[in-house]
């Protein structure tokens, strides 16, 4: 769970940075947060799970921020067209 | 279009949403630590409430917005623009409730304990969202020329009336939401882990929203008979909250922990 959380967290950050128009990063980061939070319960993997949790939270915040910016940006482009 | 392009074209709307989510997340974390509640499920509920909340807000927008041309929904560009369009707050609340139900079904966690001490997150996020609306020019108020009237110089890309004074209903709602958050926090400190705070929120926001709907001027919302969709939901929310408050206080009088 901890490894999966970390992978999903990193993927959600990459998605937010390079493909902000697609809300896939929001789904990936939510799954990452769930796995990271549950993974913290296993003492041997707690560190990696916390890293996955933090990456997923950052991924979720960035996904929402850039998705909202993207929406506003496209609205602006449409208006100026 | 990537994030670096977007950062050069940054708009205050997305920033305010993120600031609201961060503030409310910090507030919720402070509250669960104060009441010694395990943070494991806090993060899960936080994530579910955001995901389901966005989904619910979008679905209700699609249901009540009469301007969507459903015959064009199969066109890729039009469908993307619809997906990126507006949100309806009450849809977000209903989505969040579904998210909590989903979390309870999957994880069997004590959802009630988290909601009872973290309900203040909702008006805090909403207040920042409304400031974002004010800055973006959406959800605007009726024409008005008194103190604090706002005049938008352009249509902001979303059809906002240009060059006329409008009532700053978004800012009023933001202030009232922060006021509600303060009252709820005081109630939580007084009643502890009780659903009184949840009922009080439903009651207060339902009344505030019902009245503020008369000050709204944007027409992109559905209506039925005498009231708008949000006013009907407000009536249901106030009735349900009043019953919940009565039950909670009755249990409290009998010495039963809610």
Render pLDDT for A3-56 as a digit per residue (tens, 0 to 9): 899 999 999 888 888 876 667 888 899 999 999 988 888 888 888 899 999 999
Residues B208-240: tens digit of each pLDDT: 999 998 888 876 666 777 888 888 889 999 999
Residues B22, B15: Cα–Cα separation, whole Å: 10
Q: Is A46 on the interface with B (CB under 8 A)?
A: no
For chain A, counts of helices (H) and of strands (E): 3, 0
Q: Is B46 on the interface with A (CB under 8 A)?
A: yes
Q: Is A42 on the interface with B (CB under 8 A)?
A: no
Distances (CA, A) of B38 to B19, B31, B156: 24, 11, 44
With a cut of 90, say whether residue B179 has pLDDT above it. yes
Q: What integer pLDDT is reported at residue A80 of this predicted model?
A: 36
Q: What integer pLDDT is reported at residue B203 of this predicted model?
A: 94
With a cut of 80, say whether residue B47 has pLDDT above it. yes
Sole residue written with tokens 């906002």: B160
| Mean pLDDT, rounded, for B52-78 | 76
Q: Is B142 on the interface with A (CB under 8 A)?
A: no
The answer to whether residues B6 and B112 touch, using CB atoms and an 8 Å cutoff, is: no
Of residues A19, A53, A66, nearest to B43 (C-beta) = A53
Enumerate the domain spans of chain B: 11-253
Q: What is the dihedral of CA B245, B247, B248, B252, to 10 degrees?
A: 130
Question: What is the helix (H) or strand (E) element at residue A45, kind and residue range?
Answer: none
- Beta carbons of B10 and A69 less than 8 Å apart: yes
Residues B165, B163: Cα–Cα separation, whole Å: 7
Distances (CA, A) of B60 to A69, B22, B105, B188, B258: 21, 24, 24, 30, 32
Residues A7, A1: Cα–Cα separation, whole Å: 10
With a cut of 60, say whether residue B77 has pLDDT above it. yes
B165: three-class secondary structure by DSSP: strand
- Beta carbons of A69 and B9 less than 8 Å apart: yes
With a cut of 80, say whether residue B4 has pLDDT above it. no
Q: What is the chain B residue with the closest CA to A34?
A: B44
Residues A17, A63: Cα–Cα separation, whole Å: 8
The answer to whether residues B29 and B39 touch, using CB atoms and an 8 Å cutoff, is: yes
Report chain B residues whose CB lies below 8 A from the CB of A81: none
Which structural domain, as residue segments, surrounds residue A68? 2-80
Work out how many domains chain A is built from and give that number.
1
Residues B129-171: tens digit of each pLDDT: 899 888 888 888 888 888 888 888 877 666 778 888 889 999 9
Reading the block at residue B59, the tokens are: 């679905």
A46 φψ region: left (φ > 0), alpha (ψ -120 to 50), beta (else): alpha
B121: three-class secondary structure by DSSP: helix
User: Helices B12-34 and B111-118: crossing angle, nearest 10°?
Assistant: 120
Alpha carbon of B16: minimum distance to chain A alpha carbons (Å): 9
Q: What integer pLDDT is reported at residue B145 of this predicted model?
A: 87
């Amino acid at each position: 769970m901890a490894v999966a959380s970390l992978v999903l967290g990193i993927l959600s950050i990459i998605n937010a940075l390079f493909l902000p128009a697609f809300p896939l990063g929001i789904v990936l980061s939510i799954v990452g947060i769930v796995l990271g939070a549950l993974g913290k319960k296993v003492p041997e993997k707690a560190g990696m799970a916390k890293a996955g949790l933090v990456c997923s939270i950052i991924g979720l915040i960035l996904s929402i921020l850039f998705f909202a910016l993207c929406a506003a940006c496209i609205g602006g482009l449409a208006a100026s067209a | 279009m990537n994030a670096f392009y977007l950062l050069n074209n940054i708009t205050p709307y997305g920033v305010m949403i993120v600031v609201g989510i961060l503030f409310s997340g910090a507030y919720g974390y402070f509250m669960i630590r104060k009441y010694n509640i395990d943070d494991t499920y806090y993060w899960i509920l936080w994530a579910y409430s955001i995901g389901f909340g966005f989904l619910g807000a979008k679905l209700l927008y699609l249901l009540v917005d009469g301007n969507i041309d459903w015959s064009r929904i199969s066109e890729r560009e039009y469908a993307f623009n619809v997906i990126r369009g507006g949100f309806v707050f009450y849809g977000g609340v209903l989505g969040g409730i579904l998210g909590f139900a989903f979390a309870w079904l999957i994880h069997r966690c004590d959802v009630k304990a988290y909601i009872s001490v973290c309900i203040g997150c909702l008006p805090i996020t909403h207040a920042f969202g409304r400031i974002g609306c004010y800055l973006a020019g959406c959800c605007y108020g009726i024409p008005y020329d008194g103190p604090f009237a706002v005049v938008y110089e352009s249509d902001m890309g979303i059809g906002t009336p240009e060059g006329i004074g409008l009532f700053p209903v978004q800012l009023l709602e933001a202030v009232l939401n922060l006021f509600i958050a303060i009252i709820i926090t005081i109630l939580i400190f007084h009643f502890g882990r009780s659903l009184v705070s949840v009922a009080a929120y439903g009651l207060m926001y339902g009344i505030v929203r019902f009245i503020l709907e008369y000050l709204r001027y944007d027409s992109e919302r559905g209506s039925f008979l005498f009231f708008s969709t949000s006013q009907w939901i407000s009536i249901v929310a106030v009735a349900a909250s009043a019953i919940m408050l009565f039950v909670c206080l009755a249990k409290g009088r009998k010495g039963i922990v809610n």
